[in-house]
A and B are shown apart, each in its own frame.
Chain A
Amino acid sequence: MPAGIIFAVVVFALVFEMVRRRRLGERYAILWLAAALALVVLASWGGLLASISHAVGIKTPSNAFFVIAFTFLLLLVLHFSSVASRLADETRVLAQRLALLEQRLRAQEPVNGSEDEDEDLITVAASSRSSRTASRRPRG
């Protein structure tokens, strides 16, 4: 059992550290910390899993654990799929609005080499994004 406890504590510490470095939003951190905490409890209190599995009628305690863990992960992945769908939708709306705004800008200022101008906008956005991720790394 100590191996299980060590593993659970490592997971807990990892999640905590990721939140500290702003690699993980608090919203998901709470979820993962709760999961890590549950691992710690189950690992240190050996009798708990056995009594849970007995209560729900599963003969092997590890199977009970697998059922619980699998269900948790399944729901989590489903949730992420829904988040990804929403983000894709929001990104599409942003792309359309950006493109319309750029077109309007170009129509208003036909000179000043407008063809390159929006290239610049995109390059600036891309470089600012990469510089932000880069600035994050040294901090961690």
Chain B
Amino acid sequence: MDFRPDSFLAIVPAYNEAGSVAGVVESLRVEAPEFDVVVIDDGSTDDTAARAAAAGAAVIRLPFNLGIGGAVQAGFLYAQAHGYDYAAQVDGDGQHEPAELASLVEAMRADPSIDVVCGSRFVAPGGGYRAPLSRRTGIQLFALALSAISRQRVTDPTSGFRLYNRRAIRLFAGDYPHDYPEVEAVLLLHAHRLRMIEVPVEMHHRNSGRSSITKSRSLYYMVKVSLALLVGLLRRRVVVERADPVPVTAPRRGVG
């Protein structure tokens, strides 16, 4: 038997986050020392990559901006190529608190049937997170829809603060939604019969940079995600076994 300890990877997507990425990497090293850190520089035009590397993270520099989905997927590919047991997404803007990773890991270890642990802002009643009413309403709508579809309680489907096991890493390395991936990913997990649970977390407001979801884009966000959910529901999925690979538009053959 091999008693190698579990390996953990923190995937930090960052697009023009030079002001906060070093802080995130350093706080990961202090608060979650068991995690290796890979920063995905999503085609930044500032010195995000240099600051992340100086802070001691492995840095993957995408040649141009792929958007959050493509960036995080690059992280999953990295995790898969390096054989990590668990990978967590921790945003480069300082919104996610590295110290909270411990509770995600704890929840993951408590039940081996769980593939993804999601940090939720809303699972605890009266959580401290304050978002504009319109945004909370949107999140609520998707939460209701996903809860109904997956017959599990989903309260925060837009949270990117998640811990994934090997099965989930393999699934998402092969097929991860592009634009606004979090909501659709929950549906994908359900379709592949992977289990996700939520644990309560606190989230900060962004340290610097701007959210990818501006006011003008929020309508597009709602429409795009709704369409993705609808199409995702109607897509025929030949899933024989848990986490079996599915055909995607551009199929990959292994990772080099």
Contacts and interface: CB of A to CB of B under 8 A. Distances in A.
A and B are interacting partners: yes
B74 interface: yes
**What is the interface of chain B mostly: helix, strand, loop, or mixed?**
mixed
Contacts of A86: 249-250
A56 B28 CA distance: 71
A92 B58 contact: no
Interface string A111-125: 000010010001000
Given A89-B250, A107-B58, A115-B50, A95 B78 contact: no
**What is the interface of chain A mostly: helix, strand, loop, or mixed?**
helix
Interface in B129-176: none
B11 to A, nearest CB: 13
A97 B74 CA distance: 8
B30 interface: no
B123 interface: no
B255 interface: yes
Contacts of B256: 97, 100-101
B59 A96 contact: no
B109 interface: no
Interface residues of A, number: 19
Given A86-B249, A93-B252, A107-B58, A99 B50 contact: no
Contact of A95 (B59, B70, B248, B252): B70
B12 to A, nearest CB: 14
Contacts of B252: 93
